[in-house]
Amino acid sequence: MSFRKDWIERWAEYAPIKVAVSDAETGDSLTYRQLNNLSNFLAKRLQTEGIQPGDRVAVLSEFRLEYIVLLGAAMKLGFIIVPINYRLSAREVCYMVNNCEPKMVISEEKFSSLIDSDELEHKPSISWDMQDLFSELSKVLGDEEFNANDIKDDDPLFIIYTSGTTGFPKGAIYSYKMAFWNAINTQIRLDITSRDHTVICMPPFHTGGWNVLLMPFLLQGGSFTLLRKFDATTVLNLLEDEEATLFMGVPTMLKMMADDESFSEVSLESVRYFIVGGEAMPLPLIELWESKGVPIRQGFGLTEAGPNIYSLHHDDAMRKIGSIGTPNFFVDVKLMKQDGKEAKDEEEGELWLNGPVVTPGYWNNDEATKDAFTDGWFRTGDILVRDEEGYYYVKDRIKNMFISGGENVYPAEVEKLLQTHPSIQEVAVIGVPDDRWGEVGKAIVVGRSATLTQDDILDFCAGKLAKFKIPKHVELVNEIPKTESGKIDRKKLKSFVNT
């Protein structure tokens, strides 16, 4: 039984004049009928260029209407979209292009230099500027028809490259089956209907840009507005003016929005809740948004699965502070200890996942695929704990853990405590070499007050953490390095090891 279907075509039949997607920068929008017609046209046009099912089309572009039309064409013709991170170096971009070997590349002019490099070994046979795509679509005047190809559930829709913390990224295969079941899981947990509207400001090279809300909204016939870049003032005003019902962001975004002058000027009465992912949100920030009348709904997922794997109902946001909630409907989870036994309540274990929302593997990387699975279960590398009520908590990544005097220390646990210090704005903890203990903790701290000292921080930890978990070193800084998605950049934190 196939669950793929043509979502856009169906909604073009059910609600043809309903606006599906808008572009905040241009003010242009597309109804479901228009989106379907343009997608049909583009599928035919690309077919004449020689694009066939399974071909990769690499894209270096911010979110815009044409990108959504390209998605619609992919769902009809069967080619694979490879969203490329345009914020990376030419060397990193060329690695991805060489790895996925696209037949076609579509790029905004401002990003074209990233693939004009001697390191590009694979030369795509077709290259379009995004303006070419715009020009082609402008030719469409009436209804367009296209007989969709027979696309299977396990066929890839995307190849999404993970940022990784070491080495080059891996291209996670994101199938049609994953897209469907992730959308169903999301609809069930978030009560999404065709009446919902959101603003998408996560970048398209991140799974959160496509799969947290955009794809689930397309399946449910909702509507969304695309924002090229995150801007706190713009997002707040769009949420208010367009009467958005849901919004997804990372804690860094929500903090910037809370600090913005427009925060006090908008009511956000239409918003049911915000969905937060990427990392745990500090309690004071949750309380601030709660006081605004916007409940916070924590979630958890990863590029290779979901990404909507766990959800904490907003009614539990305060009672279960720090929890990612419970597993979504169609996903199987278990926590595995190092001794190969399944963890019980209150025991730490690595999260293993199974089900239709899990990637079949990594593109052109059999070794990484083999290493990621055991007996059909995907090993995430995340350490979690389940409490007696069945709520889960992320302790840390296995790779972030360091060992001090024979004891495992998870930086996230220490960071969570330090985030409650009233004079600490941001904090990251890493393990650094120590002659006596092998490794000890080092806290990199952005303070709210110029009077904050190392002793203040260490005194705050005393009695709240085991002695071996308390950082031995503290470095006060103006800024902690972040990735494009707003997470702490663990790779760049290594520069603090010897400072």
Mean pLDDT calculated for residue range 333-345: 95
- Lowest mean pLDDT across 204-208, 356-360, 403-407: 403-407
Every domain of the chain and the residues it spans: 7-298, 402-496
Name the token pair of 245.
């019902």
CATH among 3.30.465.10, 1.10.10.10, 3.40.50.12780, 3.40.50.2000 for 7-298: 3.40.50.12780
Predicted local confidence at residue 87, as pLDDT: 82
What tens digit of pLDDT does each residue of 213-241 get?
999 999 999 999 999 999 999 999 999 99
Predicted local confidence at residue 485, as pLDDT: 66
Q: Tell me how far apart the alpha carbons of residues 351 and 354 are, in angstroms, rounded to a whole number.
A: 10
Q: In what order do the strands lie in the sheet with 29-31?
A: 29-31, 19-23, 223-226, 197-200
| Furthest C-alpha separation in the chain | 75
Q: Tell me how far apart the alpha carbons of residues 281 and 420 are, in angstroms, rounded to a whole number.
A: 11
Answer yes or no: are the C-beta atoms of 200 and 224 closer than 8 Å.
yes
Name the token pair of 361.
């593997």
Pairing of strands 392-397, 377-386: antiparallel
- Lowest mean pLDDT across 169-178, 231-240, 256-265, 435-444: 435-444
Name 132's Cβ contacts closer than 8 Å, sequence gap at least 6: 106
Predicted local confidence at residue 166, as pLDDT: 44
The CATH H-level (homologous superfamily) assignment of domain 402-496 is ANL, C-terminal domain (3.30.300.30)
Name the token pair of 157.
């829709």
What tens digit of pLDDT does each residue of 124-136 get?
999 999 988 888 8
**Which of 246, 240, 206 is CA-nearest to residue 223?**
246
Q: What is the DSSP string of 62-86?
A: -S-HHHHHHHHHHHHH--EEEE--T
The 3-state DSSP class for residue 171 equals strand
- Lowest mean pLDDT across 100-114, 275-289, 345-359, 445-459: 275-289
The CA-based angle 137-140-144, given to 5 degrees, is 110
Name the token pair of 63.
């979110």
| pLDDT value at 165 more than 80 | no
Q: What is the mean pLDDT of the chain?
A: 91
HEC readout, 33-50: HHHHHHHHHHHHHHHHCC
Answer yes or no: are the C-beta atoms of 352 and 378 closer than 8 Å.
yes
Q: What is the CA 218 to chain-centroid distance, rounded?
A: 17
- What b-and-e string marks burial along 433-464, b requiring 16 or more CB atoms within 10 Å of the CB? ebeebebbbbbbbebeeeebeeebbeebbeee
Q: Tell me how far apart the alpha carbons of residues 35 and 16 are, in angstroms, rounded to a whole number.
A: 9
Other Cβ atoms closer than 10 A to 495? 12
Residue type, 324: I
Half-sphere exposure of 292 (CA within 13 A, CB side): 27
Mean pLDDT calculated for residue range 25-37: 96
What tens digit of pLDDT does each residue of 308-333 get?
999 999 889 888 888 999 999 999 99
Name 48's Cβ contacts closer than 8 Å, sequence gap at least 6: none
Predicted local confidence at residue 494, as pLDDT: 80
| pLDDT value at 363 more than 60 | yes
The CA-based angle 491-494-496, given to 5 degrees, is 135
**Which of 485, 168, 157, 482 is CA-nearest to residue 302?**
485
Other Cβ atoms closer than 10 A to 123? 11
Mean pLDDT calculated for residue range 169-188: 96
Residue type, 315: D
- Lowest mean pLDDT across 35-49, 288-302, 342-356, 464-478: 464-478
| pLDDT value at 1 more than 50 | no
The CA-based angle 327-153-164, given to 5 degrees, is 55
Mean pLDDT calculated for residue range 170-191: 97
The CA-based angle 271-275-279, given to 5 degrees, is 150
What tens digit of pLDDT does each residue of 388-434 get?
999 999 887 777 878 787 666 878 878 888 988 999 999 999 999 88
Predicted local confidence at residue 134, as pLDDT: 87
Name the token pair of 251.
């804690």
